[in-house]
């Protein structure tokens, strides 16, 4: 990447991020986000995801280089005060992330649309078990999945809720999605599936009045759904930048070999 790229600094409201931003503000000639080629995002994973979601509404999405001044920082780089920020960005590797598009239809006929960078999950709203028909590319693959719910995860989100639900970790660049049941009751032994990123996934809620289900695209919730369609968006492909030798794929490997 060229060192002449225009950089914008985007900072979380947290005290830690604001304090860490002061030296950076003085060390570089920053531009406004709308004028930038790359956004440098200070904060934690949650703030980076918030920034990415906001950018999905822009005419052009831009690469993001995250600096961890939050808690976990799985999607972020370490803070290297000894090296100029423009050099760090110039040397960084690109990782493409395609967000999911969630199209939900509620019981009263409303149609809603949201993006998800980590996962789309369907969850029972009451003590009643959710019952879902699972269709992929127009073909019914499971007439009835009964349990607490199900989720569809991107590779970037596969170490989040998906992993907690015992779903598989997906390498970046695999162009695959994880379809993972949440506390399945029937079929009890079904562990989920790995499907191509190009697939269209559709869930139809069985007995929606008796067994209400909510659909959640990252933090956006739609209650009382009857139908949810999910596809990966190539049009809104996002780009994350990572330091050499400390890529997201390396972190995914580390997650799989923790003891």
Residues with Cβ < 8 Å from 188, sequence gap 6 or more?
none
Binding site, annotated residues: 45-46, 50, 118-119, 148, 156, 159-164
Q: How far is CA 134 from CA 8, 164, 199, 210, 229, in A?
A: 43, 21, 13, 19, 10
Binding site, annotated residues for NAD(+): 45-46, 50, 118-119, 148, 156, 159-164
- Which string of DSSP letters, residue by residue, matches 130-172? EEEEEEETTEEEEEEEEEEEEEEE-TTTTTTHHHHTTPPP--T
Type and span of the H or E element at 110: none
Of the residues 37, 45, 57, 243, which is catalytic? Answer: 45
To the query of whether residue 45 is one of the catalytic residues in this protein, the response is yes
Other beta carbons within 10 Å of 74: 19
Backbone angles phi, psi at 132, to 5 degrees: -130, 140
Backbone angles phi, psi at 80, to 5 degrees: -110, 90
Residue positions annotated with a catalytic role:
45
């Amino acid at each position: 990447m060229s060192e002449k790229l225009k950089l914008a600094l985007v900072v979380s409201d947290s005290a830690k991020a604001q304090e860490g931003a002061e030296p950076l503000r003085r060390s570089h000639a920053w531009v406004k986000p709308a004028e930038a080629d790359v956004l440098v995002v200070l904060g934690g994973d949650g703030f980076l995801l918030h920034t990415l979601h906001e950018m999905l509404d822009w005419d052009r999405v831009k690469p993001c280089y995250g600096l961890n001044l939050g808690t976990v920082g799985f999607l972020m780089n370490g803070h290297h005060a000894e090296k100029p920020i423009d050099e760090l960005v110039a040397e960084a590797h690109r990782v493409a992330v395609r967000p999911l598009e969630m199209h939900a239809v509620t019981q009263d006929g409303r149609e809603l649309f949201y993006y998800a960078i980590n996962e789309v999950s369907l969850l029972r709203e009451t003590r009643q078990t959710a019952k879902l028909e699972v269709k992929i590319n127009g073909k019914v693959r499971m007439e009835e999945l009964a349990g607490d719910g199900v989720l569809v995860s991107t590779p970037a989100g596969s170490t989040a809720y998906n992993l907690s639900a015992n779903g598989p970790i997906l390498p970046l660049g695999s162009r695959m999605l994880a379809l993972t049941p949440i506390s399945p009751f029937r079929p009890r032994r079904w562990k989920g599936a790995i499907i191509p990123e190009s697939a269209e996934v559709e869930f139809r809620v069985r007995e929606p009045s008796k067994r209400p289900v909510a659909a959640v695209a990252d933090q956006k919730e739609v209650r009382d759904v009857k139908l949810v369609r999910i596809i990966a968006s190539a049009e809104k492909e996002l780009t994350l930048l990572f330091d050499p030798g400390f890529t997201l794929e390396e972190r995914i490997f580390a997650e799989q070999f923790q003891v």
